[in-house]
Chain A
Amino acid sequence: SQTIHQWPATLVQPVGSPLSLECTVEGTSNPNLYWYRQAAGRGLQLLFYSVGIGQISSEVPQNLSASRPQDRQFILSSKKLLLSDSGFYLCAWSGSIYEQYFGPGTRLTVT
């Protein structure tokens, strides 16, 4: 069966510091991978998605970036965090159909 991991689970970072969130998927090959952000009490905002290694589509222009260095690894980064970057970051994967499965998420607080 497929499993999706995210770490860290929680993170508190000061404004202006860098960010690196990692997501890995087990039990499947060539998944589509996604990064979402959910602000407190809000809906899911798609940030990036990837259909293959090195292929990244950006949905929202901002100070975040994503990379996919390996087939089942997806990384979300920032060089300098803003207060508005606080939120619940969710990684998800899908196979050949649209059903998406989410990881446990990373709760980021920027102070």
Chain B
Amino acid sequence: QKEVEQNSGPLSVPEGAIASLNCTYSDRGSQSFFWYRQYSGKSPELIMSIYSNGDKEDGRFTAQLNKASQYVSLLIRDSQPSDSATYLCAVPGTGRRALTFGSGTRLQVQP
């Protein structure tokens, strides 16, 4: 089982809709979780961090963490074409001081 799993997509949503991106992880001891956005040809950009169960909101973005079920999700409200990118989920790697990244979900927001 991979440490971090994401559906590769593409996930296509119409402009103005809610985009829901999901990520599961294998290490029950993980305490911190991160979402990165990567535009085509660019480097990843950290957009959300979440450390405790429940929801964390930042503007149009909401991260949801459920440690019992070992999943973390990212909701993007009022999706815009500029949100079209690949979204990477990351958790601390087991036994090392580095993040393990999922392969990413490609989001396409249709105008």
**Cβ-defined contact, B45 with A46, below 8 A:** no
Q: Does B44 count as interface, using CB distance less than 8 angstroms?
A: yes
Q: Mark B34-50, 1 if CB is under 8 A from A, else 0.
A: 10000000111110010
Q: Does A34 count as interface, using CB distance less than 8 angstroms?
A: yes
Number of A interface residues, CB 8 Å?
20
In this complex, the interface size class of chain B, counting residues with CB under 8 Å from chain A, is 20 to 34
Contacts between chains A and B (CB distance < 8 A), count: 48
A-chain residues with CB within 8 Å of residue B45 when the two chains form the complex: 102
- Shortest Cβ gap from B48 to chain A (Å): 10
**Cβ-defined contact, B104 with A98, below 8 A:** no
**Cβ-defined contact, A105 with B97, below 8 A:** no
Bound Cα distance A91, B9 (Å):
26
B-chain residues with CB within 8 Å of residue A43 when the two chains form the complex: 88, 101-104
Central interface residue in A32, A43, A101, A102, by most chain B CB within 10 Å: A43
Given contacts A43-B103, A98-B34, contact A104 B98 (CB under 8 A): no
Interface residues of B (CB under 8 A from A): 32, 34, 42-46, 49, 88, 90, 92-93, 96-104
Show 7 residue pairs from A and B whose CB-CB distance is below 8 angstroms, ordered by the A residue.
A32-B98, A34-B98, A43-B103, A57-B96, A100-B46, A104-B42, A105-B42
